[in-house]
Amino acid sequence: MSDAPAAPVTENGAPPVTQEKAPGFKVFAGNLAYSTTEEGLKTFFAPVQSDIHSVQLILRGTRSAGYGFVALATAEAAQKAVEALDKKELDGRQVIVEVAKPSDQKDKEKKEKKAKRKPGRRGSKAVPGEVSEAEANGDAPKTEAIAAPETDGDAAKPKKTKKKAAKKPKANDAPAATTTDGEAAPADSAAPKKAPRPRKPRKAPRPAGEDPIGEQSTTMLFVANLGFNIDDAGLSALFTDAGINVVSARIVRRRWGQPRKSKGYGFVDVGSEEEQKKAIEALQDTELGGRAIAVKVAVNTPREDDDGPEETAAAST
C-alpha cells in the first residue's frame, strides 16, 4: 500500500480549488463610503484601468469596512495610481490611496509600535484600514478591530502607592500632652475642654395676691385672661370699640414654637392716666370669647428674659 496521503475531497466529490495569490502590486484605498462597491472602486481607478488585476472591498459581515485593495500589474502603475487618485473624492468622501505594505513589513511596524508603548498600558483599538497583504488575500485569518490586552509583566505588577509625608508641626501648635510617667496622653485629654455655661437660676413665681415690685405706669394697662386666639389687632379693637384711645397693643407670646402661641395676656398703651381709668371702668370683667377679662394698671418691672429688656406686670387696683 502507498503511504501517500489521500487528496481532500469536497461534498460533491471534486477536489477543492486552491486560491492563488493575486499577482502584481497592491494599492490600499481607505476612507471609502459604506455605499461604495467594488465596481465603483474599479471605475475610480480609471487612470490605471489597463493594469488592474483585481479589486477587493474588505467586508465586515455584509457591510463594507470602509477600505479595500486594488492589485496592479506593475510598481509604476501603483505609483501612478497614488499620484493621480490620492485625496480625490469618491461617493462624497476623500479617498486615501497609497501603496500597500507587505505583510512582513506591517508585522515589523506593529512590533515596533508595541515596544514604544508605555509599560502597563492596556490594549488599544487598532487603526482602521491596517491589514496585512496576507489577510487581504485570504491566506491569514482576519483579526478583530480591537487588539487583545497586553500580558507583559509590567501590566501585571501592582501600582506603587506614594507614602504621605509626615505632617510637620506648626510653630503655634501646642506641645503634645504627656502623663506623669512620660507616655503620651490620649488626644482627648491634650486640649482643655470648654466649661459648660452655668444655667441662670429660675426666678421664683410671685405669691398670689402680692403686688409686683416696680413703678406703676401712667399709660400702660395689663390685660389678662384673654383667649389664645386673640392677636394684637383683636386686643386693640377691644379698646377702640369701647371708645378708648389706643397707642399700641401687644399680646405676649411664648419664646418657642412656630408660630409662637399666645400666653393669654397682653399690654395696651392708652396714652394717659385718664384713659387708663376710663378703660378699667369700661372693660373690667368684660366677656371676650367666653372669658371675663381683667384690666389693671401695668407696673414697669425689669426682667431678664426674651420678652424684652423691660417687661410690665400688673398692679392690683
* Grid cell digits, residue 105: 513589513
Report yes or no: 72 and 51 within 8 Å, Cβ to Cβ.
yes
* Grid cell digits, residue 101: 505594505
Q: Which residues of the chain have pLDDT under 70?
A: 1-24, 118-192, 203, 206-213, 302-317
* Grid cell digits, residue 128: 482602521
Classify 44 as helix, strand or coil: helix
What pLDDT does 259 receive? Answer: 83
Partners of 311 in the β-ladder: 301
What pLDDT does 120 receive? Answer: 52
What pLDDT does 166 receive? Answer: 62
Output helix, strand, coil percentages for the chain, rounded to the nearest 5.
Answer: 20, 25, 50
Q: What is the pLDDT of residues 235-275, one digit of tens each?
A: 898 899 888 989 999 999 988 878 888 888 999 999 998 99
CA distance 155 to 151: 7
Cβ-count burial of 219 within 10 angstroms (0-12 exposed, 13-18 middle, 19+ buried)? middle
What pLDDT does 209 receive? Answer: 61
Other beta carbons within 10 angstroms of residue 203's beta carbon come to 9
pTM above 0.85? no
